[in-house]
Structure 1
Amino acid sequence: MHKLIKQLTFLSLLYSFSVSSQWYETQGHARTNDISIELARTKAMENALKKALLVSGASVSSLQQVVNGLLTQDKISIRASGSVNSIELIDEIHSDNLITVTIRVDIFPQDKKCFAVNFKKSLLITRSHLLHREQANIGKIYLIDKAVMRKLAEQLNQQSAYTKTSSILNNKTEFSRLNNSLASDKISQLTQSLSESTDSQYIMFSEITNTSFDQQATNSWLFWQQGIYPRNFAINFYLYNGLNGELVWQDSYQNSAPWTFSKRMKVDVNGQAFWHSEYGLMVNNIIDRVIQDIDENIMCEPSRGKIIQVNGNQVIINLGRDHGLKIGDEFSLLHLTHFTNNSGKSYAGFNLSPYKVKVTKLTRQTATAATPDGRLFGNIQVDDLAVRYEN
């Protein structure tokens, strides 16, 4: 194990802050494949610093700055009030092609904290859809639609501080067909149905749009005799709110990398040979970017738990210790209603209940919460919501 202790002092971010600061300790990772140790260390530092800022309640919009040879500029842009005062690199570990750094960051707190970051949102990952199946013929990588989502789900559970992820990968959903026909109402219904059956607050759909080789390379099988050619990978992600079926976030990612396998070789997209290849590492880098974007987009969204039982002045909600809840956490209650507009389209709505509840018991998946004054509930019922908003 190689250890390195170094002190970095960052310039002020030109944001307002209080006089007291708080330390956050986080780890960052980067691969050393085809890049120098110095560059890998920089990327690992950036990864760790981004996590520290997110944990402190800030949402990072750009991160590429360093002083004293570790970061390359002097300013970090964040969408919040807060400031990085100093960073201490307290540990550095090299293992195979991976460098792991541990940093301690001195962050002046925001004037207004994002309370939702204390809770993990339940996220369901669904199997992707390979739009152009014929492009997967070389390597017979038809199962990449399943393998990439499995890798995303695994790494979300390892890296994300804001999601508790589950997956349904053996069967495809109807999302891609519905998306192609612009059937937004049916996508909303599909989202709500999956949310209901899996107790998930968010549903993730995706489409792999390109796994082709460059056009000039695929004109003839002879291109393999001329060298190794880059292969493309492009994917679209769609994140939906399971409660109301609304689209929360979407984005597209694409890159290319050399395909180092022979043309007739059937490649196991779940195997180490694939994920350690240049192409697999490129796909994995896209997955890392997706995880960061998911965190940034849902970290301050309110955690919403469905009420699954009502008994006197107590409710049981489908959020628990695994989601970051603690004894004493307080929630507001929302009563679910529906209304129809003039064109006959139905919408979900909510009435804010006067009742607030405090968590008194916890399991991994559920919480029991009661009104502090013992008041009995009025119209609160099963499938209503317990919500903690930022305040």
Structure 2
Amino acid sequence: MFMRLSLIGLCFAIYSSASFGQWYESQGVASIKNNDNKAAKAQAVHNALKKALLVAGASVSSVQQVVNGLLTQDEISIRASGSVNSLELISENYSGDLVTVTIRADIFPQEKKCFAADYKKSMLLTRSNILHREQANIGNIYSIDRTLIKKLANKIQQQGIYLDTKLALQTKTEFSRYNQSLQTQSLKNLTMSLANMTDSQYVLFSEIQDLSLANDENNDWQFWQKNIYQRQFNIALYIHDGTTGERILDKHYQSSAPWDFDDRKQVDVTSHNFWQSEYGQQISVTLDDMVSDIDENMMCQPTQGRIVQVQGNSITFNLGKRHGVKVGDKFSLLHLNNFISDDKRSYSGFNISPYKVIVTSVSQDSAHATTAEQHILDNIQVNDLAVRY
């Protein structure tokens, strides 16, 4: 039986069979650097296969293992052991400095790696920080700190699987000041405060580290144009746990592309013209990589619901249908046990309750659960956690 599913903004063709697994069709995009089409094609296939594997439920380690193993060969149809039986390159298209490929992979269903993958985690995306603001003067692109995060949120909504995002773009946070001066405790406090105010499990920060123009003109292939320079786009991504404030992901991305705008005129970074330029397309490719990395790393992070009400043997916590919670789901309970060390640093500890709760009713943003054996939850308080690992 053959059917088509629309999922995360991509069309995946799935063929179900007991002996052949399932077919997943997906697209991948990569930029061409130093005229190396072969390397760009391999990276595009890499990105497409990662998307297919993540939709199929592969873990982070198995994605890396299978992708690295498959892409050592340059064949239209590739046989492989493990969760991927075969990989076919359906099409490849070259446009400017970008290559787009469509692949089809035969993926065997595999044993679930973590129950947390059943749920979407709520994540707050904060306004980015331009570390060297003078670099944004060329094109007057200061507003890229907001526009970039809006684009990232849209891509997560379209391509991501494991996140429910919220935006905080009106004002900049103190993140970069704390991060650059290594004020770890202040970073934790900032994260926990933002997470608490917005009902978020995780908080994403970012720093735009380089927007500079290269000194040499990029006229190797554009000799008939004047003043076309390479412009850098380097960005760092940080994700923090909203409950403890601790950093769980730190990734850096470096890229560049021709800046084909008049450097004396203002460029509208929200415009179609900007995002269709080579520089805008390169940023879009970087954002795709970020979405893939975020999804991979968040898939098996614990799904943590903050308890907002305790009554006898029942609780209410702030996860609901939008996060994938269903009636009958079981959650563990953690009692927060924060403490301050001798050097005045605060740490988060947890006492694990011997009881689990079963969800009895669910609304869009919250769930009600009770203990299986009607035990009174006298050691659980508001702001403790209901967790699924």
TM-score w.r.t. the length of structure 1 is 0.81
Distance 1:365 1:40, change over 3 A: farther
* Aligned counterparts of 1:213 and 1:44: Cα–Cα separation in 2: 26
CA RMSD of aligned residues (A): 3.6
Question: Which residue pairs with 1:319 in the alignment?
Answer: 319
Distance 1:84 1:243, change over 3 A: same
Partner of 1:85: helix, strand, or coil?
Answer: strand
Question: Which residue pairs with 2:285 in the alignment?
Answer: 285
Question: Which residue pairs with 1:15 in the alignment?
Answer: none
* Aligned counterparts of 2:256 and 2:377: Cα–Cα separation in 1: 57
Question: Which residue pairs with 1:23 in the alignment?
Answer: 22
Q: Is the 8 A contact 1:22 1:109 kept in 2?
A: no
Partner of 1:304: helix, strand, or coil?
Answer: strand
* Aligned counterparts of 1:269 and 1:384: Cα–Cα separation in 2: 42
Structure 1: runs of 5 or more not aligned = 8-18, 77-81
Matched ranges for 1:1-391 at <5 A: 22-23=21-22, 25=24, 27-30=26-29, 46-54=46-54, 55-59=56-60, 60-61=63-64, 63=67, 65=70, 69-70=75-76, 82-87=82-87, 101=102, 103=104, 105-110=106-111, 113-216=113-216, 226-389=226-389
* Aligned counterparts of 2:86 and 2:294: Cα–Cα separation in 1: 27
Q: Is the 8 A contact 2:202 2:240 kept in 1?
A: yes
Structure 2: runs of 5 or more not aligned = 5-12
Shift in Å at residue 293 of structure 1?
A: 1.2
Q: Can you list the C-alpha shifts for 1:233-252, whole angstroms capped at 9, x where unaligned? A: 11111111111011111121
* Aligned counterparts of 2:19 and 2:255: Cα–Cα separation in 1: 43
Shift in Å at residue 276 of structure 1?
A: 0.8
Matching residue's letter, 1:53: L
Distance 1:330 1:92, change over 3 A: farther
* Aligned counterparts of 1:201 and 1:306: Cα–Cα separation in 2: 8
Distance 1:172 1:88, change over 3 A: same
Shift in Å at residue 351 of structure 1?
A: 0.5
Q: Is the 8 A contact 2:116 2:301 kept in 1?
A: yes
Distance 1:27 1:329, change over 3 A: farther
Q: Is the 8 A contact 2:334 2:352 kept in 1?
A: yes
* Aligned counterparts of 1:227 and 1:98: Cα–Cα separation in 2: 25
Partner of 1:288: helix, strand, or coil?
Answer: helix
Q: Is the 8 A contact 1:125 1:149 kept in 2?
A: yes
Q: Is the 8 A contact 1:41 1:101 kept in 2?
A: no
* Aligned counterparts of 2:261 and 2:182: Cα–Cα separation in 1: 38
Matching residue's letter, 2:376: L
Partner of 2:337: helix, strand, or coil?
Answer: strand
Matching residue's letter, 2:349: G
Shift in Å at residue 357 of structure 1?
A: 0.7
* Aligned counterparts of 2:351 and 2:319: Cα–Cα separation in 1: 21
* Aligned counterparts of 2:147 and 2:211: Cα–Cα separation in 1: 14
* Aligned counterparts of 2:338 and 2:327: Cα–Cα separation in 1: 32
Partner of 1:215: helix, strand, or coil?
Answer: strand
**Greater CA deviation, 54-63 or 131-140?**
54-63
Q: Is the 8 A contact 1:269 1:275 kept in 2?
A: yes
* Aligned counterparts of 1:214 and 1:32: Cα–Cα separation in 2: 18
Shift in Å at residue 140 of structure 1?
A: 0.8
* Aligned counterparts of 1:333 and 1:276: Cα–Cα separation in 2: 49
Distance 1:68 1:206, change over 3 A: closer
Shift in Å at residue 229 of structure 1?
A: 1.2
Q: Can you list the C-alpha shifts for 1:117-171, whole angstroms capped at 9, x where unaligned? A: 1111111111111111111112111111111111111111111111111110111
Distance 1:375 1:26, change over 3 A: farther
* Aligned counterparts of 2:87 and 2:264: Cα–Cα separation in 1: 50
* Aligned counterparts of 1:270 and 1:247: Cα–Cα separation in 2: 31
Shift in Å at residue 308 of structure 1?
A: 1.0
Shift in Å at residue 23 of structure 1?
A: 2.7
